[in-house]
Structure 1
Amino acid sequence: MSALGRMRDRRLTGPAGRAQTLGFGAAAFPIQLMAQTFSAFVVFFYADQLKVPAEWVAGAMVAHGILNALLNPLVGAVSDRRWTRWGRRVPWIALGIGPMIVAFVLIWMPPAGLDAAGLLVWFLVIVAVYDVTVVVVVLNVSALFPEIFRSTRERARGNTPRQLFGLVGMILGTAGAPLLYGTIGWAGMALALGVVCLGFFAWSLAGMVERPVDREAVRAREAALPWRAQLAYTFGNRAFVTYVLGSLFVQSSTSIIIASVPFYVRYSLNEPQTASTPILAAIFLAAVPAIVGWSWVVRRSSPRTALLWAVAVYAVASLAYLFPAGMLGAVLVGLGVGVGVGGVLQLLEVALAQVIDDDEKRTGLRREGIYFGANGFVVRGSVIVQAVAVAWVLTASGYDPAAGDHQAAAVDGGVRLLMGVLPAVAAALGWICFWAYPLRSQDSLATPDRDQDPESESESTLTA
């Protein structure tokens, strides 16, 4: 058999080995590198650097969030049901990597001579292509995680290198990007990051191995549960609803902080743009050892308990961004925020995998695609929350991109509100949602905390 045939027919039948765990985890680096660069700097690039009106950029980001949200459940449903000799997930990942990287690079390389309206059109078109390819790649990579790693303990260990790779990508995408665009320009930054991402994705494909399944048995169960019924059951699942709302609030909080850092550095701390690097680096460097610590916590408690502690730490620490007058104070606050961020990064997908396990007992199907798709549909709302919050607060405080460093006095207060109060409130709402999360043991698929008997709940939901 050829090498290509062996790669096509490979299947995972036991626990994932170290090489596969590292290879699978490596995909998190380019995913987070691109995602965090986009999240942290695209509003700043188009509004502050290219002088596109902030409200136009906010509107474009809302459109971006809506498109991304709508694509997630569609791609997830197709991925669950589309069987090939290469598997369900791997073909989508392999085909989407190239177009995704090209679209990312072009976001930061608009044609010269465009006015504000032309720049807005360019943004909308290129980001639409980026959205489609990101959903295809990232959703299918995420859907492989619960399949490859099968228990909370196994997932906690398997997710640790994955999140460490992701954190390095976040650090380069948020803290390292200002050094790159400050040295070689925005286009140079995009090209450099694109080349690095391509290399890591090539490595990660070696770790993308699916498990064998009885296709005929699965197809029979799928026929008994049409796509609309699956979607209704997913959003009627109490464990998923409480999880996904909590995730939305926490990720909105993080998105607001990251997008506000360039404004915080320039207009509250009165530092040059490159000072974004130590502030963001403090968050992500603190998250590195925190990921290992939270992995220990979840292996000895449960996803719900660990999430409650992590989100509480994050909410309290983020509120402290109200107070620093200089770089040292902001960096110290970032270290505390990073401990909470490490917990959120490590635990969210472990908890979602638990929801998927619970669903399999009720439906007889592994529906990672639809759950990650539905999750993406909801949490992409964090992009809309971020864009609206940043644009509204900046506008209300009198921010004027043409004024440069000579902003109205109220801008400092508005930026501090964005960095401290709004993220803390959002995280507190997330904590309330996770408190209501009903799966309270480490690996149990159903617990006494449910409102009714699990089997009767499953039957009533499916027949509906």
Structure 2
Amino acid sequence: MTPAGEGFGARLRARRLDAAPTRSQSIAFGASGFPTQLMAQTFSAFVVYFYVSHLAVPAGWVAVAMIAHGILNAVLNPVIGTLSDRLRTPWGRRIPWIGLGIVPLVVAFALVWMPPELPAPGLIVWFLVVVAVYDIAFVVVVLNISALFPEIFRTTAERSRGNVPRQIFAILGIVLGTAGAPALYDSIGWPGMALALGGVCLVLLVWSFFGGMIERRVPEVASDDTTAAMRWRDQLSLTFRNRAFVPYVLGSLFVQSAVAVILAAIPFYVRYSLGAAEGEGSLLLGAIFVTAIPSILLWSAVVRRASPRTALLWSVAVFGVAVLGYIAPSTVLGAALVGVAVGVGVGGLLQLLEVMLAQIIDADAARTGHRREGAYFGVNGFVVRGSVVLQAIVAAGVLTASGFDASLGDAQPESVDGGIRLMLAVIPVGLTALAWVCFFLYPIRSRDV
């Protein structure tokens, strides 16, 4: 290694956080939310359309590949999480994972949209291989970034402030991933879109990595040896025996399933209930996410004065009551106004769920003597993947029961309108009510552990 390389490695090893992060460090750490959400939203929104419609791969093959993608992603979360907790290097526990994963993540994301000219069987093999690399790199990077959050920000007040830029960046990434990607592939093609978005993601991830991802100098609770010695089975057992984590993760599953069902129902709602053009669905989504940005600041102030449990109960209640409003509108404008109220609740969910999980990790560390952020975020990621399954079951069941027939176009039976409004409003309210009960049973009532 050259002297310059040795100097760089020494500086990287010497980076440790001893006090509260600065504002610039908080902003740089939060910037990671933009590229990760941009890639996730672009992939989930357009990959099936790209391979089925543009590349003419049979839809059944792509469906099987997507199921494999979901299973791999779910299994990777707890595995990578527990391995990350056990890792000990001169650079820390999380930093090596993130640093080694950024480039493979961005390259794999770009290659998803840049397949070579192959027949359909070759394209599906390409998809499976490239998406497997993308899944591994995505979990490695995103899970370890999430695991850094409770370590960098140590109190509820710090976390409520530190999570604001991260969630704002994340919402902007969601908006660009869902609205900006079509404009790019229409103007410069799919490979051009891949290179443009990949370049933006790489720049922001590198800035966030060097500017905001800093581990603490000394573990706060346990020695490295005792944490490293915990077996994988013991990690999972202790996680699921945690009286605070179980109601939290079930509540998170229910409320994220409610959001997933709403997002799936909105395109049907716009076309078949409101009788509007499909493109006007962006107005409903925009009303939700644009409102969520300032509401994050509101919920940040609430949790600093109350507790994560109290603030989350209020945000879930606001979300549930607002969602019920989707039953009534007959125009896009009326539905968009409902979306403004829904966005207030969504902002609370984005801001508070990770703050509460960080509190659970603190309580677990005080009880067991181990800092296990990776295990908790990994298991949480595994469980909440069930929201995708619940979304698919609800959408398929409601549309089938209401008599929806795609071949009829806009001439659907009247029962379809009622079914879609049920899917958009009533079922999410039921899921939200279950989430509220779970969070009500959450046993930690204080602001800090």
Q: Cα 1:225–1:341, aligned 2, differ >3 Å: closer, same or farther?
A: same
Task: Give the direction of change, closer, same or farther, for the CA distance of 1:14–1:359 in structure 2 (3 Å limit).
Answer: same
Task: Report the equivalent of 2:153.
Answer: 149
Structure 1 stretch displaced more, 91-100 or 215-224: 215-224
Q: Which amino acid aligns with 2:162?
A: G
CA distance in 2, matches of 1:192, 1:269: 35
C-alpha separation in 1, matches of 2:312 and 2:148? 22
For 2:3, the equivalent position in structure 1 comes to none
Distance in 2, matches of 1:387 and 1:51, equals 23
Q: Give, in whole Å, the separation in 1 of the partners of 2:424 and 2:189.
A: 27
Tell me which residue corresponds to 1:441.
446
1:77 is aligned, of 71, 77, 82, to: 82
CA RMSD of aligned residues (A): 2.9
Determine helix, strand or coil for the equivalent of 1:238. Answer: coil
The correspondence for 2:295, drawn from 285, 290, 296, is: 290
Instruction: Out of 49-58 and 286-295, give the one that drifted further.
Output: 49-58
Q: Is the 8 A contact 2:272 2:412 kept in 1?
A: no
One-letter code of the match for 1:323? Answer: A
2:361 aligned residue: 356
1:186/1:418 CA distance change after superposition, 3 Å = farther
Q: Work out whether 1:380 is the aligned partner of 2:385.
A: yes
| Helix, strand or coil at the partner of 1:324 | coil
Give the corresponding residue for 1:432: 437
Alignment match of 1:212 (pick from 194, 217, 227): 217
CA gap of 1:413–1:134, structure 2 versus 1, over 3 A, is: farther
Aligned to 1:460: none
Are 1:99 and 2:98 matched, yes or no? no
- Consecutive unaligned residues in structure 2, runs of 5 or more: 1-5
The residue number in structure 1 matching 2:424 is 419
Q: How does 1:307-318 map to 2 (within 5 A)?
A: 307-318=312-323
Change (3 A) 1:426 1:214: closer
| Cα pair 2:86 2:228 within 8 Å, conserved | no
Which residue of the other structure, out of 408, 413, 416, is the alignment partner of 2:412? 408
Between the aligned partners of 2:250 and 2:300, the Cα distance in structure 1 is: 23
- 1:310 maps to a residue whose letter is S
Matched residues in 1 for 2:17 and 2:319: separation? Answer: 37
Alpha-carbon deviation of 1:298? 0.4
SS in 1 for 2:442: coil
In the TM superposition, residue 188 of structure 1 has moved relative to its aligned partner by 4.3
Deviation at 1:42, TM superposition (A): 4.3
Please report how far the alpha carbon of residue 389 of structure 1 lies from its aligned counterpart in structure 2 after TM superposition.
3.1
Deviations for 1:421-452, whole angstroms, at most 9, x for unmatched residues?
A: 332222221111101100011013xxxxxxxx
Q: SS in structure 1 opposite 2:244? A: helix
| Superposition pairs of residues 21-40 of structure 1, within 5 angstroms | 21-40=26-45
Q: What's the CA shift for 1:159?
A: 0.8
Match of 2:144 among 133, 140, 155: 140
Structure-2 change in CA distance of 1:313 and 1:120 (3 Å):
farther
Aligned CA distance change for structure 1 residues 40 and 404 (closer, same or farther; 3 Å): farther
Corresponding residue for 1:162?
Answer: 166
Change (3 A) 1:398 1:375: same
The amino acid that maps onto 2:284 is I
For residue 233 of structure 2, what is the aligned residue in structure 1? 228
CA contact (8 A) 2:221 2:366 kept: no
* Secondary structure of 1:165's aligned partner: helix
Distance across 1 between alignment mates of 2:427 and 2:307: 28
Does the Cα contact within 8 Å between 2:30 and 2:169 map onto a contact in 1? yes
In the alignment, does 2:330 pair up with 1:319?
A: no
Name the structure 2 match of 1:448. none
Residue 32 to residue 220, structure 1, CA distance change in 2 (3 Å): same
Match of 1:365 among 358, 365, 370: 370
Q: Could you give the per-residue CA deviations for residues 83-139 of structure 1, whole angstroms, max 9, x where no partner exists?
A: 112211111112212222233334445566755x77665554443332211111110
Letter in structure 2 aligned against 1:83: R
CA deviation after TM superposition for structure 1 residue 398, in Å: 5.4
The answer (yes or no) to whether the contact 2:253–2:384 under 8 Å persists in 1 is: yes
Establish whether residue 237 from structure 1 lines up as the match of residue 221 from structure 2: no
Q: Which residue of 2 aligns with 1:201?
A: 205
1:14 aligns with 2:19: yes
The one-letter amino acid paired with 1:96 is G
Distance across 1 between alignment mates of 2:59 and 2:261? 15
Partner deviation per Cα, 1:29-48 (whole Å, 9 max, x = no partner): 11111222334444565677
The answer as to whether partners of 2:291 and 2:344 remain within 8 angstroms in 1 is yes
What runs of 5+ residues in structure 1 fail to find an aligned partner?
445-464
**Structure 1 residues 155 and 188 mapped into 2: Cα distance closer, same or farther (>3 Å)?**
same
SS at match of 1:319: helix
Letter of the aligned partner of 2:20 in structure 1?
P
* Contact 1:266–1:405 (8 Å) recurs in 2: no
1:342 aligns with 2:347: yes
Aligned residues: 442
In structure 1, what is the Cα distance between the partners aligned to 2:81 and 2:328? 43
Residues 136, 291 of structure 1: alpha-carbon distance in 2 compared, 3 angstrom cutoff? same
Percent identity over the alignment is 61
1:390 is aligned to 2:399: no
Contact 1:89–1:143 (CA<8 Å) still a contact in 2? yes
Displacement after TM superposition at 1:225 (Å): 3.6
User: What is the TM-score normalised by the length of structure 1?
Assistant: 0.86
SS in 1 for 2:92: coil
Whole-angstrom CA distance in 1 between matches of 2:351 and 2:364: 21
Q: Is the 8 A contact 1:311 1:431 kept in 2?
A: yes
Give the structure 2 partner of residue 254 of structure 1. 259
Change (3 A) 1:188 1:255: farther
C-alpha distance in 1 between matches for 2:195 and 2:402: 36
1:462 counterpart residue number: none
CA distance in 1, matches of 2:350, 2:30: 13
**SS of alignment partner, residue 284 of structure 1:** helix
Give 1:167-182 correspondences, 5 Å limit.
Answer: 167-181=171-185
Contact 1:287–1:339 (CA<8 Å) still a contact in 2?
A: yes
Distance in 2 between residues matched to 1:113 and 1:163, nearest whole Å: 40
